A and B are shown apart, each in its own frame.
Chain A
Amino acid sequence: MLGGVEGLFLGVIDWGVVRDNLFSELVLRGVWMTVRLSVLAMLFGIALGTVFALMRLSRLAPVRWASLLYIWLFRGTPLLVQIVFWFFALPQLWPEWAPWDGKLSTFQAAIVALSINEGAYMTEIMRAGIQSVDPGQALAARSLGMTYPLAMRRIILPQAMRVVIPPTGNEFIAMLKSSSLVNAISVAELFFVAKQQYSSSLKYLEWLLIISAWYLVLTTIASLFQAWLEARYRGPAGAASESVFSRARRPAWMGGR
Protein backbone atom coordinates (compact mmCIF):
# COMPACT_ATOMS: atom_id res chain seq x y z
CA MET A 1 0.00 0.00 0.00
CA LEU A 2 2.74 2.42 0.98
CA GLY A 3 5.78 2.44 -1.21
CA GLY A 4 9.27 3.90 -1.22
CA VAL A 5 10.77 5.89 1.61
CA GLU A 6 7.51 6.51 3.45
CA GLY A 7 6.76 2.84 3.48
CA LEU A 8 10.13 2.01 4.93
CA PHE A 9 9.86 4.79 7.46
CA LEU A 10 6.32 4.10 8.57
CA GLY A 11 6.92 0.41 8.49
CA VAL A 12 9.32 0.78 11.38
CA ILE A 13 6.48 1.93 13.62
CA ASP A 14 4.44 -0.64 15.45
CA TRP A 15 1.05 0.93 14.81
CA GLY A 16 -0.64 -1.61 17.00
CA VAL A 17 1.03 -0.10 20.06
CA VAL A 18 -0.09 3.34 19.03
CA ARG A 19 -3.65 2.25 18.38
CA ASP A 20 -3.96 0.30 21.60
CA ASN A 21 -2.59 3.07 23.79
CA LEU A 22 -3.66 6.38 22.28
CA PHE A 23 -6.86 6.32 24.33
CA SER A 24 -5.85 3.81 26.98
CA GLU A 25 -6.72 4.59 30.56
CA LEU A 26 -3.03 4.93 31.41
CA VAL A 27 -2.51 7.60 28.77
CA LEU A 28 -5.73 9.44 29.57
CA ARG A 29 -4.70 9.57 33.22
CA GLY A 30 -1.40 11.08 32.08
CA VAL A 31 -3.24 13.65 29.98
CA TRP A 32 -5.46 14.55 32.90
CA MET A 33 -2.44 14.91 35.19
CA THR A 34 -0.69 17.18 32.68
CA VAL A 35 -3.81 19.34 32.40
CA ARG A 36 -4.28 19.50 36.16
CA LEU A 37 -0.64 20.42 36.79
CA SER A 38 -0.60 23.06 34.08
CA VAL A 39 -3.89 24.73 34.97
CA LEU A 40 -3.26 24.78 38.72
CA ALA A 41 0.34 25.95 38.41
CA MET A 42 -0.72 28.62 35.93
CA LEU A 43 -3.46 29.93 38.24
CA PHE A 44 -1.07 30.05 41.20
CA GLY A 45 1.59 31.53 38.93
CA ILE A 46 -0.75 34.33 37.84
CA ALA A 47 -1.67 35.04 41.47
CA LEU A 48 1.99 35.11 42.52
CA GLY A 49 2.89 37.20 39.50
CA THR A 50 0.19 39.77 40.34
CA VAL A 51 1.37 40.08 43.93
CA PHE A 52 5.04 40.36 43.01
CA ALA A 53 4.27 42.80 40.19
CA LEU A 54 2.51 45.08 42.67
CA MET A 55 5.50 44.71 44.98
CA ARG A 56 7.80 45.51 42.09
CA LEU A 57 5.90 48.78 41.61
CA SER A 58 5.83 49.63 45.31
CA ARG A 59 7.05 52.95 46.63
CA LEU A 60 9.00 51.11 49.32
CA ALA A 61 12.45 50.11 48.15
CA PRO A 62 12.80 46.93 50.29
CA VAL A 63 9.49 45.64 48.88
CA ARG A 64 10.75 46.25 45.35
CA TRP A 65 13.99 44.46 46.16
CA ALA A 66 12.13 41.42 47.50
CA SER A 67 10.32 41.17 44.18
CA LEU A 68 13.51 41.57 42.17
CA LEU A 69 15.20 38.89 44.27
CA TYR A 70 12.31 36.51 43.58
CA ILE A 71 12.50 37.05 39.83
CA TRP A 72 16.28 36.81 39.82
CA LEU A 73 16.28 33.54 41.75
CA PHE A 74 13.47 31.63 40.07
CA ARG A 75 13.90 32.89 36.54
CA GLY A 76 17.65 32.46 36.73
CA THR A 77 17.82 28.80 37.76
CA PRO A 78 16.62 25.78 35.75
CA LEU A 79 13.09 24.61 36.39
CA LEU A 80 14.40 21.05 36.71
CA VAL A 81 16.70 22.15 39.52
CA GLN A 82 13.77 23.78 41.29
CA ILE A 83 11.60 20.68 40.92
CA VAL A 84 14.28 18.45 42.41
CA PHE A 85 14.86 21.05 45.12
CA TRP A 86 11.25 21.18 46.35
CA PHE A 87 10.91 17.43 46.50
CA PHE A 88 14.33 16.13 47.49
CA ALA A 89 16.36 19.03 48.91
CA LEU A 90 13.73 20.80 51.00
CA PRO A 91 13.32 17.81 53.35
CA GLN A 92 17.07 17.98 53.81
CA LEU A 93 16.67 21.54 55.10
CA TRP A 94 13.58 20.78 57.17
CA PRO A 95 13.47 17.04 57.77
CA GLU A 96 9.98 17.22 59.23
CA TRP A 97 8.74 18.28 55.80
CA ALA A 98 9.96 15.04 54.31
CA PRO A 99 7.50 13.93 51.62
CA TRP A 100 7.64 10.32 52.69
CA ASP A 101 6.02 11.44 55.95
CA GLY A 102 3.18 12.58 53.77
CA LYS A 103 3.87 16.28 54.28
CA LEU A 104 4.61 17.24 50.68
CA SER A 105 3.55 14.72 48.05
CA THR A 106 5.21 14.48 44.67
CA PHE A 107 2.13 16.19 43.24
CA GLN A 108 2.32 19.01 45.78
CA ALA A 109 6.04 19.46 45.20
CA ALA A 110 5.38 19.59 41.46
CA ILE A 111 2.69 22.26 41.90
CA VAL A 112 4.90 24.31 44.20
CA ALA A 113 7.85 24.14 41.82
CA LEU A 114 5.86 24.93 38.67
CA SER A 115 3.84 27.72 40.34
CA ILE A 116 6.77 29.53 41.86
CA ASN A 117 8.75 29.29 38.65
CA GLU A 118 5.81 30.51 36.59
CA GLY A 119 5.17 33.34 39.05
CA ALA A 120 8.59 34.79 38.28
CA TYR A 121 7.75 35.06 34.59
CA MET A 122 4.20 36.27 35.25
CA THR A 123 5.55 39.03 37.50
CA GLU A 124 7.17 40.73 34.54
CA ILE A 125 4.12 40.21 32.35
CA MET A 126 1.76 41.67 34.96
CA ARG A 127 4.10 44.57 35.60
CA ALA A 128 4.17 45.47 31.91
CA GLY A 129 0.38 45.22 31.83
CA ILE A 130 -0.15 47.47 34.84
CA GLN A 131 2.32 50.01 33.52
CA SER A 132 0.55 50.09 30.16
CA VAL A 133 -2.51 51.67 31.80
CA ASP A 134 -2.67 55.48 31.64
CA PRO A 135 -1.73 56.91 35.09
CA GLY A 136 -4.77 59.19 34.78
CA GLN A 137 -6.93 56.11 35.36
CA ALA A 138 -5.46 55.61 38.82
CA LEU A 139 -5.87 59.32 39.59
CA ALA A 140 -9.53 59.23 38.59
CA ALA A 141 -10.17 56.05 40.56
CA ARG A 142 -8.49 57.37 43.70
CA SER A 143 -10.28 60.73 43.40
CA LEU A 144 -13.58 58.82 43.54
CA GLY A 145 -12.67 57.46 46.94
CA MET A 146 -11.43 54.06 45.82
CA THR A 147 -8.79 52.45 47.99
CA TYR A 148 -5.65 51.15 46.31
CA PRO A 149 -6.81 47.51 46.19
CA LEU A 150 -10.24 48.47 44.83
CA ALA A 151 -8.77 50.75 42.15
CA MET A 152 -6.42 47.94 41.12
CA ARG A 153 -9.14 45.33 40.97
CA ARG A 154 -11.87 47.35 39.30
CA ILE A 155 -10.01 49.85 37.13
CA ILE A 156 -6.33 49.08 36.53
CA LEU A 157 -6.16 45.28 36.21
CA PRO A 158 -9.12 44.92 33.81
CA GLN A 159 -7.41 47.38 31.49
CA ALA A 160 -4.06 45.67 31.94
CA MET A 161 -5.62 42.41 30.67
CA ARG A 162 -5.39 43.53 27.07
CA VAL A 163 -1.61 43.62 27.32
CA VAL A 164 -1.34 40.66 29.70
CA ILE A 165 -3.34 38.00 27.84
CA PRO A 166 -1.17 37.29 24.76
CA PRO A 167 2.07 36.61 26.66
CA THR A 168 0.13 34.72 29.33
CA GLY A 169 -1.26 32.44 26.62
CA ASN A 170 2.30 31.82 25.52
CA GLU A 171 3.25 30.99 29.08
CA PHE A 172 0.42 28.51 29.42
CA ILE A 173 1.38 26.70 26.24
CA ALA A 174 4.97 26.54 27.47
CA MET A 175 3.68 25.27 30.80
CA LEU A 176 1.76 22.38 29.17
CA LYS A 177 5.07 21.18 27.81
CA SER A 178 7.47 22.08 30.62
CA SER A 179 5.21 20.34 33.14
CA SER A 180 6.76 17.17 31.67
CA LEU A 181 9.88 17.97 33.70
CA VAL A 182 8.16 16.80 36.86
CA ASN A 183 8.68 13.26 35.59
CA ALA A 184 11.96 13.70 37.48
CA ILE A 185 10.05 13.29 40.74
CA SER A 186 7.79 10.55 39.35
CA VAL A 187 4.57 12.49 38.93
CA ALA A 188 2.55 10.39 36.49
CA GLU A 189 1.95 13.02 33.85
CA LEU A 190 1.98 12.35 30.13
CA PHE A 191 5.73 12.14 29.60
CA PHE A 192 6.31 10.03 32.70
CA VAL A 193 3.78 7.50 31.44
CA ALA A 194 5.56 7.28 28.11
CA LYS A 195 8.97 7.04 29.77
CA GLN A 196 7.88 4.10 31.89
CA GLN A 197 6.40 2.32 28.90
CA TYR A 198 9.24 2.77 26.44
CA SER A 199 11.80 1.87 29.08
CA SER A 200 10.37 -1.61 29.36
CA SER A 201 9.02 -2.14 25.84
CA LEU A 202 11.66 -0.13 23.94
CA LYS A 203 8.86 1.24 21.73
CA TYR A 204 10.30 4.74 21.85
CA LEU A 205 8.92 6.00 18.59
CA GLU A 206 5.43 4.72 19.28
CA TRP A 207 5.20 6.27 22.70
CA LEU A 208 6.65 9.59 21.62
CA LEU A 209 4.08 9.68 18.83
CA ILE A 210 1.27 9.01 21.28
CA ILE A 211 2.19 11.72 23.73
CA SER A 212 3.18 14.26 21.06
CA ALA A 213 -0.27 13.86 19.54
CA TRP A 214 -1.77 14.61 22.95
CA TYR A 215 0.51 17.58 23.56
CA LEU A 216 -0.57 18.98 20.20
CA VAL A 217 -4.22 18.51 21.10
CA LEU A 218 -3.70 20.35 24.40
CA THR A 219 -1.70 23.22 22.94
CA THR A 220 -4.23 23.61 20.13
CA ILE A 221 -7.07 23.89 22.61
CA ALA A 222 -5.03 26.38 24.63
CA SER A 223 -4.39 28.52 21.54
CA LEU A 224 -8.09 28.57 20.68
CA PHE A 225 -8.93 29.56 24.25
CA GLN A 226 -6.37 32.36 24.09
CA ALA A 227 -7.85 33.69 20.85
CA TRP A 228 -11.31 33.67 22.43
CA LEU A 229 -10.07 35.51 25.52
CA GLU A 230 -8.24 38.08 23.43
CA ALA A 231 -11.37 38.77 21.42
CA ARG A 232 -13.33 39.17 24.62
CA TYR A 233 -10.92 41.66 26.14
CA ARG A 234 -10.28 43.51 22.93
CA GLY A 235 -13.29 45.59 23.73
CA PRO A 236 -16.85 45.59 24.84
CA ALA A 237 -18.62 46.26 21.54
CA GLY A 238 -17.14 44.01 18.90
CA ALA A 239 -15.26 45.32 15.89
CA ALA A 240 -16.04 48.98 16.51
CA SER A 241 -14.50 48.75 19.92
CA GLU A 242 -11.11 47.70 18.62
CA SER A 243 -10.49 51.38 18.97
CA VAL A 244 -12.00 51.71 22.42
CA PHE A 245 -8.67 51.19 24.10
CA SER A 246 -6.27 52.20 21.39
CA ARG A 247 -7.97 55.54 20.98
CA ALA A 248 -8.31 56.11 24.69
CA ARG A 249 -4.63 55.44 25.08
CA ARG A 250 -3.54 58.40 23.10
CA PRO A 251 -4.34 61.79 24.51
CA ALA A 252 -7.91 62.66 23.82
CA TRP A 253 -6.95 65.91 22.18
CA MET A 254 -5.00 63.98 19.56
CA GLY A 255 -7.43 61.29 18.59
CA GLY A 256 -10.67 61.16 20.51
CA ARG A 257 -13.62 62.18 18.45
Chain B
Amino acid sequence: MPPLLELVDVHKAFGRTEVLRGISFSVEPGEVVAVLGPSGSGKSTLLLCVNHLERIDRGRILFDGRLVGYREQGGRLKAEGDAAVARMRREIGMVFQRFNLFPHLTALGNVMEAPVHVLKQSKAEARARATAMLSRVGLGDKLDAYPSQLSGGQQQRVAIARSLAMGPRLMLFDEVTSALDPELVGEVLEVMRGLAEMGMTMLVVTHEMAFAREAASRVIFMDEGAVVEDAPPAAFFASPRSDRARQFLSRYGR
Protein backbone atom coordinates (compact mmCIF):
# COMPACT_ATOMS: atom_id res chain seq x y z
CA MET B 1 0.00 0.00 0.00
CA PRO B 2 1.37 3.46 -0.84
CA PRO B 3 1.88 5.92 2.01
CA LEU B 4 -1.15 8.05 2.85
CA LEU B 5 1.03 11.08 3.27
CA GLU B 6 4.42 11.75 1.81
CA LEU B 7 6.62 14.81 2.27
CA VAL B 8 9.60 15.26 -0.01
CA ASP B 9 12.19 17.91 0.73
CA VAL B 10 9.64 20.45 1.98
CA HIS B 11 10.93 23.98 2.47
CA LYS B 12 9.10 26.94 3.94
CA ALA B 13 10.30 30.40 4.93
CA PHE B 14 8.52 33.38 6.43
CA GLY B 15 10.39 36.31 4.96
CA ARG B 16 14.03 35.49 5.61
CA THR B 17 13.32 33.09 8.46
CA GLU B 18 13.58 29.51 7.29
CA VAL B 19 11.01 27.50 9.19
CA LEU B 20 11.19 24.18 7.34
CA ARG B 21 14.47 23.16 5.77
CA GLY B 22 13.97 20.10 3.69
CA ILE B 23 11.50 17.88 5.54
CA SER B 24 11.01 14.37 4.19
CA PHE B 25 9.02 11.53 5.71
CA SER B 26 5.95 9.49 4.97
CA VAL B 27 2.99 8.24 6.96
CA GLU B 28 1.40 4.88 6.26
CA PRO B 29 -2.34 4.32 6.66
CA GLY B 30 -3.19 3.61 10.29
CA GLU B 31 0.01 5.07 11.67
CA VAL B 32 -0.04 7.48 14.59
CA VAL B 33 2.97 9.73 14.23
CA ALA B 34 3.90 12.00 17.12
CA VAL B 35 5.89 15.05 16.10
CA LEU B 36 8.04 16.30 18.96
CA GLY B 37 10.48 19.14 19.26
CA PRO B 38 11.19 22.42 21.02
CA SER B 39 8.95 25.41 20.30
CA GLY B 40 9.90 27.18 17.13
CA SER B 41 11.12 24.00 15.50
CA GLY B 42 8.52 24.33 12.73
CA LYS B 43 6.08 21.63 13.88
CA SER B 44 2.91 23.71 13.62
CA THR B 45 3.94 25.18 10.28
CA LEU B 46 4.50 21.64 9.05
CA LEU B 47 0.89 20.71 9.86
CA LEU B 48 -0.48 23.85 8.18
CA CYS B 49 1.53 22.97 5.07
CA VAL B 50 0.13 19.44 4.96
CA ASN B 51 -3.36 20.69 4.13
CA HIS B 52 -2.10 23.73 2.29
CA LEU B 53 -3.18 26.34 4.82
CA GLU B 54 0.37 27.54 4.33
CA ARG B 55 1.95 27.16 0.92
CA ILE B 56 5.34 25.53 0.68
CA ASP B 57 8.27 27.17 -1.10
CA ARG B 58 10.01 24.04 -2.36
CA GLY B 59 9.60 20.28 -2.38
CA ARG B 60 6.30 18.47 -2.57
CA ILE B 61 3.62 16.99 -0.37
CA LEU B 62 1.54 14.06 -1.55
CA PHE B 63 -1.70 12.98 0.06
CA ASP B 64 -2.79 9.55 -1.10
CA GLY B 65 -0.46 9.90 -4.06
CA ARG B 66 -1.89 13.28 -5.12
CA LEU B 67 0.03 16.54 -4.93
CA VAL B 68 -1.23 18.88 -2.23
CA GLY B 69 -2.00 22.38 -3.47
CA TYR B 70 -0.46 21.88 -6.89
CA ARG B 71 -0.92 19.92 -10.06
CA GLU B 72 1.68 18.83 -12.50
CA GLN B 73 1.39 20.29 -15.96
CA GLY B 74 4.04 19.66 -18.57
CA GLY B 75 6.59 18.74 -15.94
CA ARG B 76 6.01 21.95 -13.98
CA LEU B 77 4.00 22.56 -10.83
CA LYS B 78 1.00 24.86 -11.09
CA ALA B 79 -0.98 26.11 -8.09
CA GLU B 80 -4.37 24.44 -7.66
CA GLY B 81 -7.52 26.53 -7.51
CA ASP B 82 -9.48 27.25 -4.34
CA ALA B 83 -12.18 24.66 -5.04
CA ALA B 84 -9.73 21.82 -5.72
CA VAL B 85 -7.72 22.53 -2.58
CA ALA B 86 -10.94 22.74 -0.55
CA ARG B 87 -12.04 19.35 -1.92
CA MET B 88 -8.76 17.79 -0.79
CA ARG B 89 -9.09 19.31 2.69
CA ARG B 90 -12.36 17.44 3.23
CA GLU B 91 -10.28 14.32 3.69
CA ILE B 92 -7.79 15.87 6.09
CA GLY B 93 -9.11 16.85 9.50
CA MET B 94 -7.36 19.40 11.65
CA VAL B 95 -7.64 20.25 15.33
CA PHE B 96 -6.08 23.43 16.67
CA GLN B 97 -4.40 24.47 19.86
CA ARG B 98 -7.01 27.18 20.48
CA PHE B 99 -10.02 25.08 19.35
CA ASN B 100 -11.27 27.68 16.85
CA LEU B 101 -14.86 26.61 17.37
CA PHE B 102 -17.42 28.81 15.66
CA PRO B 103 -18.73 30.96 18.55
CA HIS B 104 -22.00 31.83 16.83
CA LEU B 105 -23.01 28.17 16.52
CA THR B 106 -23.92 25.54 19.11
CA ALA B 107 -21.86 22.39 19.56
CA LEU B 108 -24.27 20.61 17.23
CA GLY B 109 -24.14 23.52 14.78
CA ASN B 110 -20.36 23.44 14.78
CA VAL B 111 -20.31 19.75 13.92
CA MET B 112 -23.11 19.95 11.33
CA GLU B 113 -21.85 23.03 9.52
CA ALA B 114 -19.38 21.48 7.09
CA PRO B 115 -21.29 18.24 6.38
CA VAL B 116 -24.35 20.31 5.43
CA HIS B 117 -22.66 23.07 3.46
CA VAL B 118 -19.60 21.29 2.08
CA LEU B 119 -20.73 17.68 1.70
CA LYS B 120 -24.35 18.73 1.02
CA GLN B 121 -25.76 16.20 3.46
CA SER B 122 -29.39 16.75 4.38
CA LYS B 123 -29.90 18.53 7.69
CA ALA B 124 -31.57 15.49 9.19
CA GLU B 125 -28.72 13.19 8.20
CA ALA B 126 -26.06 15.64 9.35
CA ARG B 127 -27.87 16.15 12.65
CA ALA B 128 -28.06 12.43 13.29
CA ARG B 129 -24.39 11.94 12.50
CA ALA B 130 -23.31 15.00 14.48
CA THR B 131 -25.29 13.82 17.47
CA ALA B 132 -23.64 10.42 17.26
CA MET B 133 -20.23 12.01 16.86
CA LEU B 134 -20.69 14.27 19.88
CA SER B 135 -21.90 11.33 21.95
CA ARG B 136 -18.81 9.43 20.92
CA VAL B 137 -16.58 12.17 22.40
CA GLY B 138 -18.74 12.17 25.54
CA LEU B 139 -20.77 15.31 24.85
CA GLY B 140 -24.14 13.84 24.06
CA ASP B 141 -25.67 16.11 26.70
CA LYS B 142 -24.09 19.33 25.39
CA LEU B 143 -25.55 19.45 21.88
CA ASP B 144 -27.17 22.85 22.31
CA ALA B 145 -24.39 24.50 24.30
CA TYR B 146 -22.48 27.37 22.77
CA PRO B 147 -18.68 27.19 22.85
CA SER B 148 -18.51 29.87 25.57
CA GLN B 149 -20.62 27.66 27.81
CA LEU B 150 -18.18 24.76 27.56
CA SER B 151 -14.91 24.05 29.33
CA GLY B 152 -11.70 24.00 27.32
CA GLY B 153 -11.62 20.23 27.31
CA GLN B 154 -15.23 20.06 26.13
CA GLN B 155 -14.57 22.64 23.43
CA GLN B 156 -11.62 20.68 22.16
CA ARG B 157 -13.68 17.51 22.04
CA VAL B 158 -16.32 19.36 20.00
CA ALA B 159 -13.53 20.46 17.67
CA ILE B 160 -12.42 16.84 17.25
CA ALA B 161 -16.01 15.76 16.57
CA ARG B 162 -16.34 18.60 14.05
CA SER B 163 -13.33 17.28 12.14
CA LEU B 164 -14.43 13.66 12.34
CA ALA B 165 -17.87 14.51 10.97
CA MET B 166 -16.24 15.10 7.59
CA GLY B 167 -15.04 11.50 7.53
CA PRO B 168 -11.35 12.37 7.13
CA ARG B 169 -8.71 9.80 6.29
CA LEU B 170 -5.95 11.74 8.03
CA MET B 171 -6.17 13.79 11.22
CA LEU B 172 -3.76 16.58 12.10
CA PHE B 173 -3.48 17.60 15.75
CA ASP B 174 -1.66 20.83 16.53
CA GLU B 175 -0.73 20.91 20.23
CA VAL B 176 -4.37 20.32 21.05
CA THR B 177 -3.85 20.07 24.80
CA SER B 178 -1.45 22.99 25.24
CA ALA B 179 -4.23 25.52 25.90
CA LEU B 180 -6.00 23.34 28.45
CA ASP B 181 -5.93 23.39 32.21
CA PRO B 182 -3.93 20.36 33.38
CA GLU B 183 -6.98 18.56 34.76
CA LEU B 184 -8.72 18.78 31.36
CA VAL B 185 -5.88 17.32 29.31
CA GLY B 186 -6.81 13.73 30.10
CA GLU B 187 -10.30 13.78 28.60
CA VAL B 188 -8.96 15.04 25.26
CA LEU B 189 -6.10 12.54 25.13
CA GLU B 190 -8.62 9.83 25.94
CA VAL B 191 -10.57 10.68 22.79
CA MET B 192 -7.38 10.71 20.74
CA ARG B 193 -6.30 7.33 22.10
CA GLY B 194 -9.69 5.95 21.12
CA LEU B 195 -9.25 7.29 17.61
CA ALA B 196 -5.79 5.77 17.34
CA GLU B 197 -7.11 2.40 18.46
CA MET B 198 -9.79 2.54 15.79
CA GLY B 199 -7.07 2.82 13.17
CA MET B 200 -7.26 6.53 12.29
CA THR B 201 -4.12 7.83 10.65
CA MET B 202 -2.87 10.69 12.79
CA LEU B 203 -0.09 13.26 12.70
CA VAL B 204 0.13 14.64 16.22
CA VAL B 205 2.23 17.63 17.19
CA THR B 206 2.39 17.43 20.97
CA HIS B 207 4.27 18.10 24.17
CA GLU B 208 2.54 15.20 25.88
CA MET B 209 5.39 12.71 26.16
CA ALA B 210 3.17 10.09 27.73
CA PHE B 211 0.83 10.19 24.77
CA ALA B 212 3.72 9.94 22.32
CA ARG B 213 5.18 7.00 24.20
CA GLU B 214 1.96 5.06 24.65
CA ALA B 215 -0.30 5.90 21.72
CA ALA B 216 2.09 6.72 18.88
CA SER B 217 3.47 4.13 16.50
CA ARG B 218 6.30 6.43 15.54
CA VAL B 219 8.06 9.52 16.82
CA ILE B 220 9.48 12.25 14.63
CA PHE B 221 11.76 14.64 16.46
CA MET B 222 12.21 18.03 14.81
CA ASP B 223 14.61 20.83 15.58
CA GLU B 224 15.29 24.05 13.69
CA GLY B 225 13.10 23.07 10.79
CA ALA B 226 14.57 19.65 10.13
CA VAL B 227 13.74 16.06 11.07
CA VAL B 228 16.46 14.98 13.49
CA GLU B 229 15.11 11.57 14.47
CA ASP B 230 12.43 9.26 13.13
CA ALA B 231 12.03 6.16 15.30
CA PRO B 232 9.56 3.94 17.13
CA PRO B 233 8.63 5.55 20.47
CA ALA B 234 10.29 2.85 22.57
CA ALA B 235 13.61 3.34 20.83
CA PHE B 236 13.35 7.12 20.79
CA PHE B 237 12.57 7.49 24.49
CA ALA B 238 14.99 4.79 25.65
CA SER B 239 17.99 5.77 23.60
CA PRO B 240 17.73 8.94 21.52
CA ARG B 241 20.58 9.04 19.05
CA SER B 242 21.12 12.80 18.79
CA ASP B 243 22.34 15.21 21.45
CA ARG B 244 19.49 17.55 20.67
CA ALA B 245 16.87 14.88 21.32
CA ARG B 246 18.62 13.95 24.57
CA GLN B 247 18.60 17.59 25.68
CA PHE B 248 14.95 17.92 24.71
CA LEU B 249 13.95 14.82 26.62
CA SER B 250 15.85 15.84 29.73
CA ARG B 251 13.99 19.15 29.69
CA TYR B 252 10.51 17.77 29.02
CA GLY B 253 10.84 14.64 31.12
CA ARG B 254 10.43 11.14 29.89
Listed in ascending order, the chain A residues whose CB lies under 8 Å from chain B are 134, 136-137, 139-148, 150, 154-155, 158-159, 235-237, 240-241, 243-245, 247-248, 251-253, 256-257
Could you say which of B86, B98, B103, B180 contacts A245, with CB atoms under 8 Å apart? Answer: B103
CB-CB under 8 A from A134, the residues of chain B are 100
Complex contact A252–B152 (CB within 8 A):
yes
CB of B6 within 8 Å of the partner chain: no
CB-CB under 8 A from A245, the residues of chain B are 103-104
Residue pairs across A and B with CB atoms within 8 Å: the count is 105
On whether A145 and B102 interact (CB within 8 A), knowing A244-B146, A256-B155, the answer reads: no
Chain A proximity of B225: nearest CB distance (Å) = 21
On whether A143 and B98 interact (CB within 8 A), knowing A256-B148, A256-B155, the answer reads: no
Chain A proximity of B104: nearest CB distance (Å) = 5
Complex contact B146–A145 (CB within 8 A):
no
On whether A146 and B114 interact (CB within 8 A), knowing A136-B98, A248-B148, the answer reads: yes
CB-CB under 8 A from A248, the residues of chain B are 101, 103, 147-148
Complex contact A144–B148 (CB within 8 A):
no
Question: Could you list some 27 contacts between A and B, CB below 8 A?
Answer: A136-B98, A136-B100, A140-B101, A142-B53, A142-B86, A144-B90, A145-B86, A145-B166, A148-B82, A150-B117, A154-B117, A236-B104, A237-B146, A240-B149, A243-B148, A244-B103, A244-B146, A244-B147, A247-B148, A252-B99, A252-B152, A253-B98, A253-B179, A256-B148, A256-B151, A256-B152, A257-B150
Bound CA–CA A154/B163 (angstroms): 17
Known pairs A136-B98, A158-B104, A248-B148; list 13 more (Cβ under 8 Å). A134-B100, A136-B100, A140-B94, A142-B89, A145-B87, A145-B118, A241-B148, A243-B148, A244-B146, A251-B179, A252-B98, A252-B99, A252-B155
Chain A proximity of B89: nearest CB distance (Å) = 5
Chain B proximity of A159: nearest CB distance (Å) = 6
Could you say which of A137, A150, A244 contacts B118, with CB atoms under 8 Å apart? Answer: A150
Complex contact B96–A139 (CB within 8 A):
yes
> Nearest CB to that of B114 among chain A residues?
A144
> Nearest CB to that of A155 among chain B residues?
B102
CB-CB under 8 A from A252, the residues of chain B are 98-99, 152, 155, 179
Bound CA–CA A61/B124 (angstroms): 44
Bound CA–CA A158/B225 (angstroms): 37
Bound CA–CA A148/B179 (angstroms): 28
CB-CB under 8 A from B82, the residues of chain A are 147-148
Bound CA–CA A136/B119 (angstroms): 22
Bound CA–CA A146/B166 (angstroms): 11
CB of B240 within 8 Å of the partner chain: no
Bound CA–CA A134/B150 (angstroms): 19
> Nearest CB to that of A153 among chain B residues?
B117
Complex contact A143–B103 (CB within 8 A):
no
CB-CB under 8 A from B198, the residues of chain A are none
Chain A proximity of B244: nearest CB distance (Å) = 28
On whether A139 and B100 interact (CB within 8 A), knowing A146-B117, A252-B155, the answer reads: yes
Complex contact B179–A143 (CB within 8 A):
no
On whether A244 and B148 interact (CB within 8 A), knowing A144-B113, A150-B117, A256-B155, the answer reads: yes
Could you say which of B89, B96, B180 contacts A145, with CB atoms under 8 Å apart? Answer: B89
CB of B93 within 8 Å of the partner chain: yes
Complex contact A244–B104 (CB within 8 A):
yes
CB-CB under 8 A from B155, the residues of chain A are 252, 256
Complex contact B53–A145 (CB within 8 A):
no
Complex contact A159–B103 (CB within 8 A):
yes
CB-CB under 8 A from B100, the residues of chain A are 134, 136-137, 139-140
CB of B51 within 8 Å of the partner chain: yes
Complex contact B102–A146 (CB within 8 A):
no
CB of B83 within 8 Å of the partner chain: yes
CB of B162 within 8 Å of the partner chain: yes
Complex contact B146–A144 (CB within 8 A):
no
Complex contact B166–A144 (CB within 8 A):
yes
CB-CB under 8 A from A150, the residues of chain B are 117-118
Complex contact A257–B151 (CB within 8 A):
yes
CB-CB under 8 A from B90, the residues of chain A are 144-145
Which chain B residues (51-104) contact chain A, with CB distance < 8 Å? 51, 53, 82-83, 86-87, 89-90, 92-94, 96, 98-104
CB-CB under 8 A from B147, the residues of chain A are 244, 248, 256
> Nearest CB to that of A151 among chain B residues?
B86
Bound CA–CA A244/B106 (angstroms): 11
CB-CB under 8 A from B101, the residues of chain A are 140, 248
> Nearest CB to that of A257 among chain B residues?
B151
| CB 8 Å contact bits of B9-46 with A (1 = contact, 0 = none) | 00000000000000000000000000000000000000
